[in-house]
Amino acid sequence: MSNNNKTIKGGEFLIKESNHNDIFIAENWDEEQKMMRDTCYDFIAAEVNPNLDRIDDMEEGLMTSLLDKAGELGLLGISIPEEYGGFGKDFNSSLLISEATGSGHSFAVALSAHTGIGMLPIMYYGTKAQKQKYLPDLGSGAKKACYCLTEPGSGSDANSGKTKAILSEDGSNYILNGQKMWITNGGFADIFIVFAKVNDDSNLSAFIIEKEFGGITLNPEEKKMGIKGSSTRQVFFNDVIIPKENFLGEREGGFKIALNILNIGRIKLAAAALGAMKNIVSQSINYANERSQFGSSIATYGAIKHKIAEQAIKTYATESALYRTGLNIDQATSTLLESGMEDEKAKLKGVEEFAVEAAILKVFGSECLDYVSDEGVQIFGGMGFSADAPMDRSYRDSRINRIFEGTNEINRMLIIDMLVKRAMKGQLDLLTPAQAVAKELMSIPDFSSGDEELFAEEKKYLANFKKAALMTAGAAVQKLKMNLGKEQEVVMNISDIIIQIYVAESFFLRVRKLVDTNGEESCAVKIAALKTFLYDSADKINVFGKTAINSFAEGDEARMMLMGIKRFTKVNPFNTKKARRIVADYLIAENKYTL
């Protein structure tokens, strides 16, 4: 993968024009990556899909046997360094594996919990001895892992947890007591990553606990709306004796571990959601082609074409942003490694740099999956509501993703919080471009595209969208100051503008790069999808901006900014119905998602 654009920073997309040659697009996977992806597809088709009902019925030993088989194929060790028995692949390759297994319903959840939040704390924060002891077994599937953070009284506010570890008088071990809930893989895990406060500490620490230590009891499996085959238990720790060598990371460093692992979890959740979306779109197209009403396949009707096109456009948009970010993370990691930083620390810092983008992807990906599955139910009609058809499971299983890895509301607020903090630390100059936009509001607007370059109009739209974000966010920060965090509705409006911009720009850069390679004619369907997405983005940004401005400004100030929002979201008339039909007709002819 190209590493030309090493200097890009997380969040910088808002103030810097990106070059389409510097991004990674999913059309550029190499042969080895495609082979890894196809291995996952084959595994899901052969081992998971025929057994979905058995998995949801929680047949004893089935999920662990599937994880064992995945381990035999090497699917659990993609990210683990070769010295510990893994493949040591880059971050974007690990995202591809998450996508390729993402259609596996409850199995995908168990897999991602094991390889992500269960395994990565040891990989990134463990001592050499801890890695040597645990990673080979976790990578092979001989041992299964889970992650224990949430408690009955602490969810989003994780640091308020009550689980406590008391250091023994001789300092040789810790004695742990407490309760954790919503623990994925809790019913069969051998290794528990547990967060607790040591003695009277204010902040969490982390521990690696083996089930064999004893003192661990489990409540029965939770009855859930979806992902019914995923083991979800309450876990009780009663005088669990933990050897001091199983302390993970630094004392009171647990919250940092949790946050950094969640950054990875968020972007990997978007990857899994993408895999599920592609599967649902293909099922929707296939059913629409087969189902006949009023003498014709329902795929011939405009209402169904609209749904299929919109499902596909949201899917392609998610994919465009996902792998753009994945490459940025790999680039940041490479730069840090070249500066002499240790491998694991560089990988963590690489992800941390793009925590804003990870939160954006988590929100956008999970909400697109909800949309795609909901429209899948609608396309299937009465059969969509039947448990005998695939949409029932897809619809129920999709809903958890807006809650997992920090709720979407928390993630929206985090996006703004992280951007503001980076600006205050001087890491990201948001003030200068925000002031430039404020000055521009006083000038005569220029509605020309400015040049004759290919996609000049679309480039101008994106530049203006960014001005809308900078104007609204800058004014909100200036007006509300320290109270901004309390105005959650305003924060979420601004966050929604930023999310829309990042995805729209990613979509644009991908199509622009493809046109350079393949020519406009061969990219006609993707250009139609892009123009539709940008046109709709303008309306969304307009509404988010107006709503935010009306919440904190009034009088001449409000009128000036509302004029600005109108100016910065102005787009030329465009026939989205015709464009969506171009997308839908192509996919209907292919009888599957092939964008």
**pLDDT higher than threshold 80 for residue 299:** yes
User: Is the CB of residue 209 less than 8 Å from the CB of residue 191?
Assistant: yes
Under DSSP, is residue 222 helix (H, G, I), strand (E, B) or coil?
Answer: coil
pTM for the model: 0.95
All residues at 6 or more sequence positions from 367 whose CB lies less than 8 Å from its CB, including other chains: 402, 408
Which of 405, 409, 487, 557 is labelled catalytic?
Answer: 405
**pLDDT higher than threshold 70 for residue 446:** no
User: Is the CB of residue 89 less than 8 Å from the CB of residue 78?
Assistant: yes
Residue 1: pLDDT band (50, 70, 90) is: very low
Determine the Cα–Cα distance for residues 560 and 224; give it in Å rounded to an integer. Answer: 49
Determine the Cα–Cα distance for residues 466 and 444; give it in Å rounded to an integer. Answer: 18
Please list the residues that pair with 173 across neighbouring strands. Answer: 243
**pLDDT higher than threshold 90 for residue 587:** yes
Average pLDDT over residues 214-240: 96
The half-sphere exposure of 578 on its side-chain side, counting CA atoms within 13 A, is 6
Residue 460: pLDDT band (50, 70, 90) is: very high
Ordered structural domains, the chain, with CATH: 12-144 (1.10.540.10), 147-248 (2.40.110.10), 254-409 (1.20.140.10), 430-590 (1.20.140.10)
Question: What digits encode the pLDDT tens for the residues 338-395?
Answer: 999 998 899 999 999 999 999 999 999 999 999 999 999 999 999 999 999 999 999 9
Residue 5: pLDDT band (50, 70, 90) is: very low
Q: Is 405 a catalytic residue?
A: yes
> What is the separation, in whole angstroms, between the first and last Cα of the chain?
22
Per-residue pLDDT at 453: 75
**pLDDT higher than threshold 70 for residue 445:** no
**pLDDT higher than threshold 80 for residue 514:** yes
Of the given ranges (111-125, 145-159, 351-365, 471-485), which has the lowest mean pLDDT? 145-159
Determine the Cα–Cα distance for residues 449 and 460; give it in Å rounded to an integer. Answer: 6
Per-residue pLDDT at 3: 43
CA 248 to chain CA mean position, Å:
26
Q: From residue 81, how far is each of 2, 85, 107, 138, 182 by CA, in Å? A: 22, 7, 24, 12, 30
Per-residue pLDDT at 156: 67
Residue 485: pLDDT band (50, 70, 90) is: confident
Under DSSP, is residue 40 helix (H, G, I), strand (E, B) or coil?
Answer: helix
Determine the Cα–Cα distance for residues 445 and 423; give it in Å rounded to an integer. Answer: 28
Average pLDDT over residues 244-251: 96
Q: From residue 37, how far is each of 31, 34, 117, 178 by CA, in Å? A: 10, 5, 21, 40
User: Is the CB of residue 183 less than 8 Å from the CB of residue 163?
Assistant: no
Backbone angles phi, psi at 43, to 5 degrees: -65, -45
Highest mean pLDDT among 86-90, 196-200, 527-531, 553-557: 527-531
Determine the Cα–Cα distance for residues 325 and 306; give it in Å rounded to an integer. Answer: 29
**pLDDT higher than threshold 50 for residue 442:** yes
User: Is the CB of residue 582 less than 8 Å from the CB of residue 528?
Assistant: yes
